[in-house]
Amino acid sequence: MAARDGDVAPKVPIPALLAHAKDLSVEELHRRLAEEGFEGIRYRHGSVFRHIDPEGSRLTVLAERSGLTKQALGELVSELEQGGHVERIIDPADRRAKIIRLTDRGRESQIAAARILMDIERSWAAELGQNRVDALRTTLEEVIRLQLPGRA
């Protein structure tokens, strides 16, 4: 439906803007990771990288933290294992279980990703001003709290 003279075009909903900003940032992250030699890391692998403990985690813990099924997480772990980013080792507390832990390459890629994301934020601050970026962060943190189930 065409807008009539004097009508204001509808604004893009904020969740759509947030999704677009995230998509652009993630695209830059993965492009730069690949440039640094960490090809093959995809957005979905963040379900492992974001939730794994420094000493490693069981698959069930990663699945619970990420909200994915054990089967889906197992596939991601297998992909990362093939890329040399994680390894499965016997859990010393329960020899029947496995611990997934980052390899040296996995830790290097995790560090690189954190650095790149900080670079992206710094570029925003350089263009928009640090105060605006700080305000954006505070506002988004508040929005997230508002959306959480059982919030106070």
Alpha-carbon gap, residue 41 to 94, rounded angstroms: 30
Residue in 106, 107, 137, 104 with CA at minimum distance from that of residue 120: 137
Q: How confident is the model at residue 78 (pLDDT cuts 50, 70, 90)?
A: very high
Q: How confident is the model at residue 3 (pLDDT cuts 50, 70, 90)?
A: low
Number of DSSP helices (H) and strands (E) in the chain, helices first: 6, 2
Domain 42-102: assigned CATH number: 1.10.10.10
Q: Is residue 107 within 8 Å of residue 93, measured between CB atoms?
A: no
Give residue 104's pLDDT.
96
pLDDT for residue 2 is more than 60:
no
Q: What is the pLDDT of residues 24-54, one digit of tens each?
A: 999 999 999 999 999 889 999 999 999 999 9
Alpha-carbon gap, residue 31 to 17, rounded angstroms: 21
Q: Where are the domains of the chain?
A: 12-38+104-152, 42-102
Q: What is the pLDDT of residues 52-71, one digit of tens each?
A: 999 999 999 999 999 999 99
pLDDT for residue 93 is more than 80:
yes
Give residue 128's pLDDT.
97
Q: Is residue 47 within 8 Å of residue 64, measured between CB atoms?
A: no
Alpha-carbon gap, residue 131 to 147, rounded angstroms: 24
